[in-house]
Amino acid sequence: MGRTRDVSKILTSNTSILSLASASSTYQTKASNALVLLNTTSFTTQSSVSIDNVFSATYDTYVIRGSYTGSVDSTCDMRLRVSGADNSAANYERQLFNVNNASTSFTRLTGQTSYTNISGHTTTYNGINIVEIHRPFNTSPTLAISLGNADGSTDTRAVNQYMKHTASTSFTGFTIYPGSGNITGNVSVYGYNK
C-alpha cells in the first residue's frame, strides 16, 4: 500500500493498452444490440387494426406486443399482409398449448386462414400477447412464437403457440382483429438488431 509503480517498467515492448477510442471502434456497443421500436399504434373500438411497412430486410426477427380489451369476450387473431392486403390463404399452421384454470389442451391446426387466438380478451380485463416472428420479409416460410394471456373475473388463461406460414411470401405487415366484436388497445412492433 502506498507504493506506486512506473507503468513503463511493467509493460514490455509488445504490450499495448486498449484506449477508449480504439475500444469503441473495435467492440460493438450494447445499445446497438437492443430492440428497436419501429411502430406503436393505439386504437379504440376497431374491428381490425392493420400495421403496414414494418417488416423489411433491415431485421430478421421482430417482436409484436399488444394489449386489448373487447366489446365482447373473444380472441385476438392475426394475419400477415403485403401491399396493403391481408393474406387469408389457407397457409397458416399452429401448435397450441392452452391452459384455462385447471384444464389444459393441446391442438394442432393446419390449413388455417389466420393465426387464431394469439390472445384472449374480455370486456373488463386486458388480454396481452407477445409474438416473436422470424424472417417475415424473406421469400420463405415464416415462423413465429406467440405467448398470450387473458384475465377474467374468475380465471387466468395462458395460450402458447408455435406458428408457421407455409407459403414462400415476403410480408411487410400484419393485421390484428377480434374473433367477434371490436377491440380497444395498443400494439407495438420492435426489430432485433442483427
pLDDT in tens, the chain (194 residues): 555 555 555 555 555 555 555 555 555 555 566 899 999 999 999 999 999 999 999 999 999 999 988 888 888 899 999 999 999 999 999 998 877 777 888 889 999 999 887 777 777 767 788 999 999 999 999 999 998 876 655 667 778 899 999 999 999 999 999 989 999 999 999 999 88
pLDDT of residue 45: 95
User: Of 167, 166, 189, whose CA–CA distance to 176 is shortest?
Assistant: 189
User: Of 71, 41, 60, 53, whose CA–CA distance to 176 is shortest?
Assistant: 41
pLDDT of residue 98: 78
CA dihedral 29, 31, 32, 38 (to 10 degrees): -170
Three cell numbers written together for 126: 386486458
Three cell numbers written together for 93: 399452421
Give bridge partners of residue 64 from the DSSP assignment.
131, 189
**Please, are residues 127 and 148 in contact by the beta-carbon 8 Å criterion?**
yes
Sign of torsion over alpha carbons 25, 35, 142, 156: positive
pLDDT of residue 104: 86
**Fold held by 37-192:** Jelly Rolls (2.60.120)
User: Of 60, 150, 166, whose CA–CA distance to 113 is shortest?
Assistant: 166
pLDDT of residue 192: 94
What is the rounded distance in angstroms from the CA atom of residue 5 to the CA atom of residue 122?
69
What is the rounded distance in angstroms from the CA atom of residue 30 to the CA atom of residue 193?
11
What is the rounded distance in angstroms from the CA atom of residue 151 to the CA atom of residue 122?
8
Whole-model pTM over 0.85: no
